[in-house]
Amino acid sequence: MSTRSICFGIWLALSGVFISGAGSVYGQVQHPYYLQALSDFRMARALLLQHIDGKPMTHNEKEALRQINVVIREINEASIDGKEPAQPKAQGSLLQCVEFLNKAKNDLSHEEDARFSGGLRDRSLKNCDAAIRFVQQEGGK
């Protein structure tokens, strides 16, 4: 996979809108921190894909992309509209990719409605930490 694919996935994951776990239309709630986190994940994926730029992917790049895509997919599955925005244009470095992942982690760290989350926040934080670790390992080469 290319860096563009990774960053596009991050960007896609971060733009979702979420609903309450109450199961009713009346329980729909927007979670702006998840929306911002989704945007940050998508930008991080775009930066990672830009870094790869068609070259064969290393293990760390593959794992970072996989972790980012997992978070994006889960956030999108929890969204109300499920729409996929266009891929962001990315010019930057792996350091900037880590910065966007850290911003997303911060956004995800806000308190949430436990009925809504179904463990989404904890799983997303775990995947985000793994993505950060893999990108940092790749950048240290």
Distance CA 18, CA 16 (A): 6
Helix runs in the chain, H state only? 3-13, 32-52, 59-77, 94-108, 114-117, 120-139
More confident residue, 98 or 119: 98
More confident residue, 112 or 48: 48
- Identify whether the C-beta of residue 33 lies closer than 8 Å to the C-beta of residue 107: yes
What is the structure's pLDDT at 113? 59
What is the structure's pLDDT at 116? 54
What is the structure's pLDDT at 65? 94
- 79: three-class secondary structure by DSSP: strand
Instruction: Express each pLDDT in 16-47 by its tens digit.
Output: 433 233 333 323 335 678 888 888 999 999 99
- Identify whether the C-beta of residue 5 lies closer than 8 Å to the C-beta of residue 84: no
Q: How many domains in the chain? A: 1
Confidence of residue 12 (pLDDT cuts 50, 70, 90): very low
What average pLDDT does this structure show over 106-121?
71
Domain that holds residue 12: 3-139
Instruction: Express each pLDDT in 64-99 by its tens digit.
Output: 999 999 999 888 877 655 555 556 666 678 888 999
What is the structure's pLDDT at 102? 92
